[in-house]
Structure 1
Amino acid sequence: MQEIQFYKYQGTGNDFVMIDGISTPVELTLDQVRKLCSKGFGVATDGLIILKKAEGLDFEMDYYNADGTQSMCGNGGRCAVKFAKQIGIFPTGSYRFKAIDGLHEATIEENGWVNLKMKDVSQIKTYGTDFILNTGSPHYVVQTDQVKSLNVVEEGRKIRYSDPFKEEGINVNFVQTINDTSIFVRTYERGVENETLSCGTGVTAASIVAAHNDRGFNRIEVETLGGKLAVEFDRTSEEHFENVLLCGPAELVFEGKIKLS
């Protein structure tokens, strides 16, 4: 029986089990990951993050969805930075860490928000009237004027399990434009296989698709069921977006110990 010290963090309702694998290396089986995230037997979270040592960087973020699959998670990355600060990592400048999609940088603002630099986006594919792009994880974006009343689980599941996407999966975002600089987003997440209160890579994808000026700096205010975020980016050409920042709160909820077999 293995006893694990864990911390539960949330970023606009997107919640994660956080484990310090820097002080003491931690290795979990996929069954243990699923159990830790589960509602009935674990902590009931959308995912799990283990912070590990990374040469020349502040840490490596090892992220698992609730079903044990791995991907990049924007809100998880922001929470990982706050957790790194909690366990005593204080860089002289910005935090620098490695995730499954590459290197990231982040800063913690005076108001507690974490600004996380995401990967550049260099392609947006049209799919009928919808859009597909990768912001660290693959996202399908549907524009709607009824986002609050939509059955996101039912409609998202139809797309996620349709023939083109069912094997590898895709996150499905429903976005309503409020004005030129603000949107409302709801997301069905693969790996969780349900709607989450917020999805960082999803609101990033939705912001790039749904609300931006033709060239130059953009800041998009984003509402989700779990709270407010912002996405900043520079649009340098028709399909190229650089200096992408995901900005929002990240907070410790509680901590505890759990025994795993």
Structure 2
Amino acid sequence: MDVHFYKYQGAGNDFILIDHRISPIKDIDYESIKQLCDRRFGIGADGLMFLTAHPEYDFEMLYFNADGRPGSMCGNGGRCIVAFAKHLGIIDKETDFLAVDGPHYARISEKGNWIELQMIDLDTINRDGKAYVLNTGSPHYVIQQQDLINFDVYHNGKTIRNNDTYKENGINVNFVEDQGDHLFVRTFERGVEDETYACGTGVTAAAISIAKHKNQTGHIQTPVKVLGGDLKITFDYDGKQFTNVFLCGPAERVFEGEITF
């Protein structure tokens, strides 16, 4: 069947989006999703999303990794699907939608392409040596790294993601450099099995980990630079729980077209 698709990107994290209300696909072919996300033989994307109807929310987000498999929460994908819902006329400036990790609230700024997405609250952070391990909707490993711009993220990230501890379920590996007035973050993503230009749940995990590391409390705003641009994380931390966590950044429509599923 022929299906209309849209391509969106958020800080270089790019996605194929399909309005599943209009073009329902009963039997989702994971191999087809993998091929569509392939950058040489398909459209090319870090993942694919279906926007589906839901009786209790504005819409539901169904996310698939670039390997074709159903994924955990994708923060930049969440911001992109909010922009997509706005384009479709489903929402205006605010929304409540459902994702794999539960309900999410989001708001769209007056600029139009700046989306502020509320992430899940967090009260558990574990350690693995010098690294922090936490779940911000997806599981993340966060470790500080100096001279990050010249660091081999692919090989080091792949090694950690596939070690004996994480190989079975996988983990996203984030390297973060505290540059004073902002964090610089690079991420090796499971499901993509490569470094991506941005990872929304990853920069959220990085900002929370650095706040924990520095014993910061109160209302915290953390500018973050990634290979694909600028993001911002805000949250409240009382020493026990991280709440009111927001991932903020741009989400833009790139192009649209027709594909055969």
TM-score, with normalisation over the residues of structure 2?
0.95
Matched, 1:226 2:249: no
1:4 aligned partner, one-letter code: V
**Is the CA contact (8 Å cut-off) linking 2:218 and 2:236 kept in structure 1?**
yes
Q: Report the CA distance between 1:23 and its aligned residue.
A: 2.7
Aligned-pair CA distance for 1:41: 2.4
Pairwise mapping of residues 4-83 of structure 1 onto structure 2 (< 5 A)?
4-27=3-26, 28-69=28-69, 70-83=71-84
Cα distance in structure 1, aligned partners of 2:3 and 2:188: 30
Q: Which residues of 2 match residues 18-167 of structure 1 at below 5 A?
A: 18-27=17-26, 28-69=28-69, 70-91=71-92, 94-111=94-111, 112-167=113-168
CA distance in 2, matches of 1:109, 1:23: 27
* Structure 1 unmatched runs, 5+: none
Alpha-carbon distance, 1:213 to partner: 5.9
What is the CA–CA distance in structure 2 between the aligned matches of 1:122 and 1:213, rounded to whole Å? 14
Q: Displacement, 1:215?
A: 1.7
Q: CA deviation at 1:160?
A: 0.1
- CA RMSD after TM alignment: 1.3
Rounded Cα–Cα distance in structure 2 between residues aligned with 1:123 and 1:146: 29
Is residue 245 of structure 1 aligned with residue 246 of structure 2? Answer: yes
- State the distance in 2 between where 1:196 and 1:252 align: 18
Instruction: Report the TM-score when normalising by structure 1.
Output: 0.95
Does the 8 Å CA contact 2:59/2:97 hold for their aligned counterparts? yes
- Structure 1 runs of 4+ aligned residues shifted over 4 Å read none
Contact 2:3–2:23 (8 Å) recurs in 1: no
Secondary structure of the residue that 2:159 maps to in structure 1? helix
Q: What secondary structure is seen at the aligned counterpart in 2 of 1:148?
A: helix
The gaps in structure 2 that reach 5 residues or longer are none
Residue of structure 2 aligned with 1:217, choices 216, 219, 230: 219
Specify the alignment match of 2:238 in structure 1.
236
- Report the identity percentage: 50
